[in-house]
Chain A
Amino acid sequence: MPSESSDSKLFRDRIPLKNPYVAAALAWLLPGAGHFYQGRYFKAVLYAVCIWGTFLYGLQLAQWRGMYYQFEAGNTRYGFIAQAGIGTPAILSYVQARRYQASNSKRNDRGALQHNDFSRINEPVQSEFRATNDWLRLFEEVDSLEGEVHLNEPVGQEGFGTDYHGIFTGTMNGDTQVTVKVAGLSLDRGVGCEDWRLLKCKVMESSDPRLKAGQIIFGAVPRPVQDWLFVPVDDDMLQSLNRQLGKLFELALVYTWIAGLLNVLAVWDAFEGPAYGYGDELATDEDEKKRKEASTKAAENESSKSDAKLSTSEATS
C-alpha cells in the first residue's frame, strides 16, 4: 500500500462526494448510480458495466434462477449474503420470497417448499395454453393441444357447488382446429419458480370426437416474469438445473456472488472516496524528489564554484 504524502491526505477534497450517504445508497441499489450522482462518470460507467455485466451473465447462465432469498432451518442460501451486495435484486428477492410464501402453504417432509399444489382459480384467465403428449396420456389419438383458454369467473360458493367454466380454442396435433368446453378448472399457484403454470381441467364438450367428455387435460399456461423471477427455487427445479448445467450452474452462482462482493467496494468508494489516493500522488512525489535532487545538485555546484573561486583568489594573493 503506498504511503500517503501530505498532498495525498487532501486528495479527498478533490473528489466531489456530495452527500456520501445518498451516494452510497444509490451505489448499493444500482451499481454505478452513486458515482453518476457524484459526477464521477468514468467510474460510474466502469462499475455499472463490470458489476452489472458479471451479475447478469451469472444470472443468465443459471437460467435466471441463481438468486433468491431463502433462510429457513435446513434450507438456507448463504450465497445470498454475497449477492445482497447489489441492492435492487436483493430487495426484489426478499419481496418475491414473501409473495411465494403467501401463495404457498404446502411443504414436503424436509420442510422444502413444494410447487405442485393446485388451487382453484379465483379470477378470469385469458392466456396461451399448451399441452403435449406427456400431459395428454389419457387421449390416445391426441399428441398436442395449442391455443388459447378463456376461463370464466367461478359461479356459486367456494367449495362444494362452485362451478368453473372455460373454453379452449386452438389446434390439435398441429393441424385440426378444435373448440373445447372445459370445467373443473384448477391452476398452479400464481407465484412460482417455473415460467409456466400447470392447468388442470375436465373436458365437457368437444368439437372433435378424439377429445372425449369427462377426461382430464393437463396443460401449461405462461406465468408472467414478475411472478417467477427471483422466486425461491424448489428442489425439483434445482435438480433439473444441476442436471442440465452441471458445473456451469455453480460457476453462474460464483459470478453473481463476485458481482455482489465487488459492489461492496464500489459502495465504499462512493461513500469514502478511493482507498489509496487520487492516482497522481506517486507521479507528484517523484517530481518532488527530482526537483529536490536537482536543487541539491545545483546547490552543490554553486558551493563548488564558490570554493574554486575562493581557492584561486587565495592563490593569486
Chain B
Amino acid sequence: MFDQSFSLAAQLSITWHVIPLAVVVSLVYSASRFELPEAILQRSARLFGTILLFMGVVFLVLYLLSFGL
C-alpha cells in the first residue's frame, strides 16, 4: 500500500516533485521562525507562493532562451 502509492507518485513527471518539496520547505522553514500555528501557516503560504513565482520566472526565462533551439 505504502510502496504502491509512492510508486504511483514516482511515475509523475520529475517537475511535479518540486511542488511537495516547496510545500515542505516553506512549512518547516516558517515553523523554525515562529511559534504560533497561524503565523507559521500564513508565512509558509506566502513563502510557498514566492518559491513558485521564482521558479515560474526561472522556467519562463529558460523557456524563452531555449526558444527555437
Q: Do A and B come from one complex?
A: yes
Name the residue among A15, A40, A54, A274 with the largest chain B CB count within 10 angstroms. A274
- When the two chains form their complex, are residues B27 and A279 in contact, meaning their CB atoms are under 8 A apart? no
Given known contacts A57-B9, A280-B39, is B34 in contact with A262 (CB within 8 Å)? no
State whether A279 and B28 are in contact (beta carbons under 8 Å apart), knowing that A60-B3, A251-B14 are contacts in the complex.
no
B10 contact set on A, CB distance < 8 A: 61, 248
| Contact for A278 among B14, B27, B35, CB less than 8 A | B35
Q: In the assembled complex, how far is the CB of residue A115 from the closest CB belonging to chain B, in whole angstroms?
A: 24
B40 neighbours in A (Cβ, 8 Å): 42-43, 46, 279
User: Which of A87-95, A203-211, A264-272 is near enough to bind chain B?
Assistant: A264-272
Residue of B nearest to A42 (CB): B37
In the docked arrangement, what's the CA distance between A50 and B14, Å? 19
> By the criterion CB–CB under 8 Å, are B24 and A262 in contact?
yes
Contact with A along B1-30 (1 / 0, CB 8 A): 011001001100010010011001101110
Please tell me if A47 contacts chain B, counting CB pairs below 8 Å: yes
Contacts of A53 in B (CB 8 A): 24
Contact B3 A255 (CB under 8 A): no
B14 to chain A, nearest CB (A): 6
Asked if A54 and B27 sit within 8 Å, CB to CB, the answer is: no
Nearest B residue to A12 by beta-carbon distance? Answer: B35
The minimal Cβ–Cβ distance linking A30 to chain B, given in whole angstroms, is 15
Main secondary structure of the interface of B (DSSP, over half): helix
Known contacts A46-B40, A51-B28, A279-B39; A274 and B33 CB within 8 A of each other: yes
The answer to the question of A258 belonging to the interface, with a C-beta cut-off of 8 Å to chain B, is: yes
CB-based nearest B residue for A54: B24
- The A interface is mostly helix, strand or loop, or mixed, namely helix
Which of B17, B24, B34, B37 is close to A50, meaning CB atoms less than 8 Å apart?
Answer: B24
* B interface list, Cβ under 8 A from A: 2-3, 6, 9-10, 14, 17, 20-21, 24-25, 27-29, 31-40
A-B pairs with beta carbons under 8 Å apart, 20 shown: A43-B31, A43-B35, A46-B28, A46-B31, A50-B28, A51-B28, A53-B24, A54-B20, A60-B2, A60-B3, A61-B6, A248-B10, A248-B14, A251-B17, A255-B21, A262-B24, A274-B34, A276-B34, A279-B34, A279-B36
Chain A contacts to B: CB under 8 angstroms:
11, 14-15, 40, 42-43, 46-47, 50-51, 53-54, 57, 60-61, 247-248, 251, 255, 258, 262, 265-266, 268-269, 273-280
Closest 6 CB pairs of A and B: A279-B39, A279-B36, A279-B34, A265-B32, A276-B33, A262-B28
